[in-house]
Structure 1
Amino acid sequence: RKPEQLEFRPFDLCVLARQEEVEIRERLRGRPVTFSSLLPDRLMVLGSPELAAMVLHNLLDNACRYTEQGRILLEFRADEMLLTDTAPVIDPDVRTRMFERGVRGTSKSPGSGLGLSLVLRGCERLGWKVAYEHWEGGNRFRVRLSQG
């Protein structure tokens, strides 16, 4: 949708996360990857639920694609969403361009290279900030939320 067509209203981000959990658990069935989440009962934010669902879905989709073993953890805090995985650490050369349209980890990477560019655009429209950080066991995406 065009930005001017998006309706901003208060919504519970945890409801969207719980809907995604069902799909994620099904996708990971039979793989040596565990999914867990640390969610409050509710996390009310102001924004477009459709955009927020797209941001959440694309981040989780990437984690499922690239995590071959280990775990994926989704965590909500009062002002941020964290997605941590044990996928191979994103190459430093790719990190500088990872939010650009069409950028993929390698030529053998699955997907079209649109997911993270859509995440960035969605976050910008929502007034959120997305950032990547690597940790000794993999990758972490941190989304700072605007509150409503």
Structure 2
Amino acid sequence: MDEGEAKAAYDGISDVLRKVGLDWVVEQVEEDIRLGKTVTIEADASEFIDDQVAGHRRGRRKMQEFVTTEPYSNIERLNLLLDAIDRVLALPQFATDALRTLEAKSVTFVSDIEGDEGHSLLSASGQQEDAARRRFQEVREQAGVTAR
């Protein structure tokens, strides 16, 4: 997959996610993209640090590591979005595992916020979720974009 194909795939998947009410997933990924990826570079620190003593500049270069950010490539952006989808698809399995661990048929999380009804985990077979995860992995492999 080249950069152009990755951009088209990212845009298409983002549109679909927004249409099905998962715009919050796209927004979180795009926030990460805006921040950029963290990289470490080595640079001559004397360019940034004033090391003049009594009007004389020391002649040595002082290489140091600095942390900065750089933009994600289109392929990296697509990987971020696919990783986010993968995590969302893992939520039903998490709920099933949590209920099994708690030996409960359901658990309800209650919110203190007025109007917020909370969230319930209910036991389910998980077969549809497993099939969706398998299909997602197949599509990802066919596209040549693999999980990190």
TM range (shorter): 0.3 to 0.5
TM-score by length of 1: 0.33
- The higher radius of gyration belongs to 2
Q: Which has the higher strand share?
A: 1
Q: Which has the higher helix share?
A: 2
